[in-house]
Amino acid sequence: MDKAQQLLTDYGLRKTGCRLDVLRQFLEHDFALSHADLEKKLGSRYDRVTIYRTLYSFEQQGLTHSIKDGSGGLKYALCQHQESLQSKHEDSHIHFSCTGCGQTFCLNDVPVPELMLPQGYEAERLNYSAEGLCKTCSQRNDI
C-alpha cells in the first residue's frame, strides 16, 4: 500500500481514482496547489466538480487545509499528520506566498507569535501570511 492509499485509509476516506491521484499530487509537491493546478496536472481524467468534491472531502476530514492566496483564490496543502488524525487543522503556521514563482508554502517550522485578544473577543481562525521570494527564487536573484 503506497502513502496515498495509507492516508486515505487513516482518514476514513474511500480509495477512488480521483482521490488517489489528487493526494499523490499533494505528496509530490512541497507547495500548495489550487484547483486549477490540479486540473492542469491531472489532464482530462476528472471533471472540475469531481476535483472540487475531492478537495472538499479532504478538507472536511482534516487531510488538507485551504489557504487564501492573496488574489481571491484558494490553494490547498496537506496538513501535518503527527498527532491525532481526528483533530481538525489549525493554522498555527505561516503561509508564504512567493512573488517570484507564485507558489504558496506552509512554513510549519517557523514559530508564530501568540495572539492576545482583548477580553470578550474570541478568534475562530487565524491566518498568518508572508509574501516575498522563496528560497529558489531568491537564489536566482543572487546570480
The response to whether 79 counts as a known ligand-binding position is no
The response to whether 134 counts as a known ligand-binding position is yes
Residue 8 exposed, middle or buried by CB count within 10 Å (0-12, 13-18, 19+) = buried
Burial 90-108 (b: 16+ CB within 10 A, else e): ebebbbbbbeeeebbbbee
The response to whether 106 counts as a known ligand-binding position is no
49 phi and psi angles, rounded to 5 deg: -65, -40
Residues of the binding site for Zn(2+): 98, 101, 134, 137
Residues of the binding site: 98, 101, 134, 137
